[in-house]
Amino acid sequence: MDVRIRPNIIGMDLAELTTRLEGMGEPRYRAKQVFDWIYDKAVYDFSAMVNLPAALRDKLRSEMRVSLPQVVQTQNAADGTSKYLLQLDDGQHVECVIIPDMPRMTACLSSQVGCAVGCAFCATGQSGFARNLQPGEIIGQLLVSQQIRGERLTNVVMMGMGEPLANYDNVMAALRLMNDRAAIAMGARRFTISTVGLVPGIKRLTGEKLQVNLAVSLHAPNDHLRNQLVPINRKYPIAMLMETCKEYIAAVGRRVTFEYVLLRNVNDQAAHAHQLAQLVRGMLCHINLIPVNPVSEKGFSRPSEQGTAEFARIVRGYGVEVTVRKEKGTGIDAACGQLRARRMR
């Protein structure tokens, strides 16, 4: 059977693997044994799964596969951050970034190849959209990073390439596998979904009542400016987005993070800070200011450190919690999408 047609066990949940193995005449507990090898022992080769009968190992080899994305380029920064360019089965590329922030080890994973939203300052957005990632390709980024680094990752943020809520079902399937005790066994609170603000997706997520963290990429405090920076704002304008976030907070009881990429002379003025604070004041939320990572051809730059601090001070003055993102991975094209964009040029 062609390698790509054989189903990949990475991405299947335990119930699906159990059904498949039962279909092959195997007892139910075999699926759990295979899961233990993969998720507990990080063994991805059937021939090394020594508690399985030899005949079953042969059968698995010919009918299924355990395949991870292939690392085609690595960048390591002095602070321990690593960025990997990964090649998928069909030759497409995505990026993932590993960020140590002790005691956490956070994986920043991609949800799509490219992105259709096209935010003005984002390298991924400029490269267009190719396709959604499968659950196994999302989990695979985590497993391959753990394999390279030789350590367990503790947290996952969906802040790599793509818009996770535009690939809702596959991202949720990956999340359930990460959450499942039989698989990665990572608590939902260690998982963050970052969205550009797809209102229907946030509403769906609200209905799940999961304890995941929600980050919403706001980037502008008024529709006029946000329409220019985040084109999807024309469809889901700020008032509608804020209403949806309030419903989310009320239903789930968790704080929302608003991400705000600071662009010098574009959205970083004192008036913007006042407007931003007034917009979110009183909500159970937190603002994360992110000085932009300049993407060469776009011409955006970040404010000075004093400018950033002053912006934060104004927002804080309204009693709103603000952090400035610590710079990680300096010198390794840390803005997601940059590595792939460079390779494709």
Question: Is residue 339 part of the contact set for ligand SAH (CB under 6 A)?
Answer: no
- Residue 69 falls in which region: left (phi positive, over 0), alpha (psi -120 to 50) or beta: beta
Question: Is residue 140 part of the contact set for ligand SF4 (CB under 6 A)?
Answer: no
Interface characters, 303-332, with ligand SAH (x: CB under 6 A): ------------------------------
Interface residue with ligand SAH among 106, 145, 170, 194 (CB under 6 A) is 194
Name the DSSP letter for residue 190. Answer: G
Question: Is residue 124 part of the contact set for ligand SF4 (CB under 6 A)?
Answer: yes
Question: Is residue 196 part of the contact set for ligand SF4 (CB under 6 A)?
Answer: yes
Question: Is residue 333 part of the contact set for ligand SF4 (CB under 6 A)?
Answer: no
Interface residue with ligand SAH among 210, 290, 320, 339 (CB under 6 A) is 290
Interface residue with ligand SF4 among 21, 68, 119, 158 (CB under 6 A) is 119
Closest approach of ligand SF4 to the CB of residue 57, in Å: 41
CA distances from 78 to 32, 250, 335 (A): 40, 42, 16
Active site residue 336: yes
Cα separation of 274 and 270, whole Å? Answer: 6
User: How many residues are listed for the chain in this entry?
Assistant: 345
Cα separation of 144 and 148, whole Å? Answer: 6
263 binds, among ligand SAH, ligand SF4, none (CB under 5 to 8 A by kind): none
Active site residue 122: no
Residue in 100, 94, 161, 143 with CA at minimum distance from that of residue 343: 94
Question: Is residue 196 part of the contact set for ligand SAH (CB under 6 A)?
Answer: yes
Contacts of 117 (CB under 8 A, 6+ apart): 125, 163, 166, 196, 230, 231, 232
- In this structure, is the dihedral angle defined by the CA atoms of residues 132, 333, 67 and 201, taken in order, positive or negative? negative
Span interacting with ligand SF4, options 21-29, 76-84, 117-125, 138-146, rule CB under 6 A: 117-125
Beta bridge partners of 259: 217, 288
Candidate list 96, 115, 119, 336, residue with the active-site label: 336
Catalytic residue numbers read 95, 336
| Contacts to ligand SF4 by CB under 6 A | 115, 117-119, 122, 124-125, 162-163, 196, 217
